[in-house]
Amino acid sequence: MTTPATATATILFTDLVGFTEYTDACGDAAAVEVLDHQTAIARAALDHGGGRLVKELGDGLMFWFERPASALRSARSMLAAVDAARDTRAFPLGVRMGMHCGDVTPRGDDFVGRTVNVAARITDLAAPGELVVSDGIVAALAPDGAEFQPVGPVRVKGVASPIWLHRLATRPSY
């Protein structure tokens, strides 16, 4: 058996905030419409950078990017598109995102490894309309990382040392 080649990559997760409750309140057809809309926004955003949609996870999406810069461009584009759609009430829910970079191991079209797990975990700490990234992303983007604001160190299950988080929001916070 051969071991799959591990390579450095950037993983981005999105999560639709309140999707389960929205489905309960508005029904399955409306829920499917939201998912389709989210996927359409994501695919349009990906046109701006070198990455791909890996898979859909219920109401969330997982993306792979070769570099953090293209991941950031796509994430920004997605957040801006969702905000614009929400302003016109065309999109009913907020989207939050988490991003981390490091080694990933391919498994078919999918990727596995600690980098994937950490990216998924930090998504839980983002607010709607917000991207939370690890310090690895900020360091890789330097000096452009100045646009991020520090959130703090967080311990992620299965990872020995704390991971510093930073936030990027498309809208100003109050």
Partner 1 sequence: MRVIAESDRREVIASTGAIARDGGPVTIDGGSAKVLARVPEGTPLVIGTTSGRVTIEGRVGAVSVVTASGRISVADAASVDARSASGRIEVGHADGGCRVVATSGRVDIGHCGGADAMSESGRIVVSDAHGPVRANCTSGRIQLTMAGAHDVEAETVSGRVEVSFPDGLRPLVVNSPAEVPGERAGHDCVVVARSGAGRVVVSGR
Residues forming contacts to partner 1 in the complex (CB under 8 A) are: 17-18, 20-22, 24-26, 89, 92-94, 121, 124-128, 149-157, 162, 165, 173-174
Looking at the Cβ atoms of 73 and 96, the one nearer to partner 1 is 96
- Assess whether the previous peptide bond of 143 is cis (omega < 30° from 0): yes
- Smallest CA-to-CA distance from 63 within 26, 73, 149 is with 73
Looking at the Cβ atoms of 11 and 165, the one nearer to partner 1 is 165
Look at the block and give the residue holding tokens 């020995």.
Answer: 160
Neighbours of 72 (CB within 10 A): 25
Looking at the Cβ atoms of 43 and 155, the one nearer to partner 1 is 155
Q: Which amino acid is at 7?
A: A
Q: How near is the Cβ of 98 to partner 1 at its closest, in Å?
A: 11
Q: How near is the Cβ of 48 to partner 1 at its closest, in Å?
A: 27
Q: How near is the Cβ of 141 to partner 1 at its closest, in Å?
A: 20
Strand 60-65 versus strand 7-17 pairing type: antiparallel
Q: Locate 94 and state its tokens.
A: 């907020």
What distance in Å separates the CA atoms of residue 164 and residue 60, rounded to the nearest whole number?
23
Looking at the Cβ atoms of 24 and 36, the one nearer to partner 1 is 24
Q: How near is the Cβ of 14 to partner 1 at its closest, in Å?
A: 15
Q: How near is the Cβ of 152 to partner 1 at its closest, in Å?
A: 4
Look at the block and give the residue holding tokens 């992620």.
Answer: 156
What distance in Å separates the CA atoms of residue 149 and residue 12, rounded to the nearest whole number?
18
What distance in Å separates the CA atoms of residue 166 and residue 174, rounded to the nearest whole number?
17
Looking at the Cβ atoms of 9 and 169, the one nearer to partner 1 is 169
